[in-house]
């Protein structure tokens, strides 16, 4: 995909994130791979305000930043950069502050798998206890788990998801947030019923789920 299209896709999903209430104000940051470069949101911007030419280019190999005049890369640039460096299959990373995901992270670490979309699209979600945001400590903590999980809850902070493209990373964000919401609602009423390992395997083996995942990996 050429740079112009990547920038337009970033704007599209940035606005989706805001429209879904996954961030408030200038919170959150997203990025996408463009060859040997990652394009990341500029610091201090509300995601819906970013124009195509304002995404900041960063060399994946050495971290060299090429920012438009007067702009700087997101304060979480290292978290994104380390992810691309350690896992070449990552095509996009989405970091948001969804309310239910944050709420779940305040009371638990292991988000159970409860329904088919969660089983097929995200699988088990990893957890990172609170680390000071924007620091290299957080970037390293994400780096250590990003080869194992496609979704990571950050304790007292938010959610990180990755995908082979922005579409996949974005929909994983939606699924984790919905999972956290369902869990909290069910927990308030009783004991949530989680899927067994056999039930998870049965879902993953469905041809229809494989087809849906294939579609998600096609950028739209």
- Asked if 106 and 98 count as a contact pair (C-beta separation under 8 A), the reply is no
Domains of the chain: total: 1
Query: Tell me, what CATH number does 188's domain have?
Result: 3.40.225.10
Residue 177 is a catalytic residue:
no
Distance CA 30, CA 130 (A): 20
Structure-block tokens of residue 63 = 């971290």
Strand partners, 96: 159
Distance CA 14, CA 74 (A): 14
Distance CA 172, CA 111 (A): 14
pLDDT per residue, tens digit, the chain (220 aa), is 456 699 999 999 999 999 999 999 999 999 999 999 999 999 999 999 999 999 999 999 999 999 999 999 999 999 999 999 999 999 999 999 999 999 999 999 999 999 999 998 999 999 999 999 999 999 999 999 999 999 999 999 999 999 999 999 999 999 999 999 999 999 999 999 999 999 988 887 886 656 556 666 665 5
Question: Among the options 76, 168, 174, 177, which is catalytic?
Answer: 76
Give all strands (DSSP E) within 42-167, no chain letters: 56-59, 65-66, 92-96, 126-128, 151-154, 158-163
For 48, the domain range is 3-216
- Rounded to 10 degrees, what is the CA torsion of 105, 187, 24, 115? 90
Distance CA 81, CA 93 (A): 10
């Amino acid at each position: 995909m050429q740079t112009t299209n990547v920038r337009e896709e970033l704007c599209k999903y940035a606005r989706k994130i805001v429209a879904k209430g996954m961030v408030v104000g200038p919170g959150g940051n997203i990025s996408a791979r463009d060859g040997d470069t990652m394009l990341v949101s500029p610091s201090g911007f509300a995601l819906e305000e970013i124009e195509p030419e304002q995404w900041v280019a960063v060399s994946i190999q050495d971290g060299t930043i090429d920012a438009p005049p007067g702009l700087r890369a997101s304060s979480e640039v290292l978290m994104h950069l380390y992810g691309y460096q350690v896992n070449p299959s990552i095509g996009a990373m989405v970091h948001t502050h969804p309310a239910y995901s944050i709420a779940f992270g305040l009371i638990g670490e292991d988000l159970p798998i409860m329904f088919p979309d969660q089983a097929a699209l995200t699988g088990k979600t990893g957890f990172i206890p609170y680390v000071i945001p924007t620091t290299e400590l957080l970037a390293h903590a994400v780096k250590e788990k990003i080869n194992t999980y496609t979704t990571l809850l950050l304790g007292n902070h938010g959610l990180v998801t990755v995908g082979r493209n922005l579409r996949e990373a974005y929909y994983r964000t939606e699924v984790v947030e919905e999972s956290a919401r369902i869990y909290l609602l069910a927990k308030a009423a009783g004991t949530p019923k989680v899927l067994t390992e056999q039930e998870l395997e049965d879902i993953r083996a469905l041809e229809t789920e494989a087809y849906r995942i294939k579609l998600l990996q096609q950028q739209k």
